[in-house]
Structure 1
């Protein structure tokens, strides 16, 4: 079971680390999309959330301050679900379905990361 946990841990951490890096690599486009979604201080928020994703992903990968990392990720994921993936505001059926999938993914990921502090052994 340890091998399964280690592989899952790396995959989950890389998901958040990749998305954190993407906030910086695609800053301009993400800022424009955040502004379109009426996020206040969109450019700053893209940077802040990128840092949150990097911190949370590193926490999972290295097993350091996992509770803090899980809270940081949940604090990112839940508001992002409501602000960026507000499927109920979409008129186009395909857009609504796409945004609903992202909304539910964020809520499920928030629930999953909040389970992480219950794991006692984070050693490699």
Structure 2
């Protein structure tokens, strides 16, 4: 059962990691799009948005500090969803495309929040590995003669 969680984590983690890294190759174009939507300091905020995606991707992929990854996703997805994909404010020709992005982002937000319900440390995660090493070290110390 844990293997499916790991596979899903890898897929989702790489999705966010790729999106964050790829966004850095398009900062200028994405900043222009954000400016057109009325975003203040679009260059800076687009940069921060892609840093958040990279942080989230690494956290989910490795299982290290997953709550920080979820927070990064919430900080990214909420404003992007409601500002950049406000389908109700678009012309009819663009409404469907923006609605697809809007609902996709809501689904991604929901999946991010579900990670909070999974007990930690996650299986096959850095946190799990570190916890096992600490337990092992403690047992070794306890086994040593006084």
Name the TM tier (shorter chain). Answer: over 0.9
Q: What TM-score results when the alignment is normalised by the length of structure 1?
A: 0.93
Separation (CA, whole Å) in 2 of partners of 1:68 and 1:21: 18
Q: Residue 123 of structure 1 corresponds to which residue in structure 2?
A: 123
Q: Residue 111 of structure 1 corresponds to which residue in structure 2?
A: 110
Deviation of 1:71 after TM superposition, in Å, equals 1.4
Q: What TM-score results when the alignment is normalised by the length of structure 2?
A: 0.80
Whether the 8 Å contact between 2:6 and 2:123 is mirrored in structure 1 is no
Deviation of 1:78 after TM superposition, in Å, equals 1.3
**Structure 1 unaligned residues grouped into runs of 5+:** none
**Structure 2 unaligned residues grouped into runs of 5+:** 125-146
Q: Residue 56 of structure 1 corresponds to which residue in structure 2?
A: 56
Q: Residue 85 of structure 1 corresponds to which residue in structure 2?
A: 85
Please, what is the CA RMSD of the aligned residues? 1.1
Deviation of 1:123 after TM superposition, in Å, equals 3.0
Whether the 8 Å contact between 1:37 and 1:84 is mirrored in structure 2 is yes
Structure 1 or 2, whichever has the larger Rg, is: 2
Deviations 1:46-67, CA, capped at 9 Å, x for gaps: 1100110000110001111111
Deviations 1:34-84, CA, capped at 9 Å, x for gaps: 111111100001110011000011000111111121011012101111100
Q: Residue 43 of structure 1 corresponds to which residue in structure 2?
A: 43
Q: Residue 9 of structure 2 corresponds to which residue in structure 1?
A: 9
Whether the 8 Å contact between 1:71 and 1:114 is mirrored in structure 2 is no
* Aligned structure 1 segments of 4 or more residues deviating by more than 4 angstroms: none
Separation (CA, whole Å) in 1 of partners of 2:49 and 2:32: 15
Separation (CA, whole Å) in 1 of partners of 2:122 and 2:100: 31
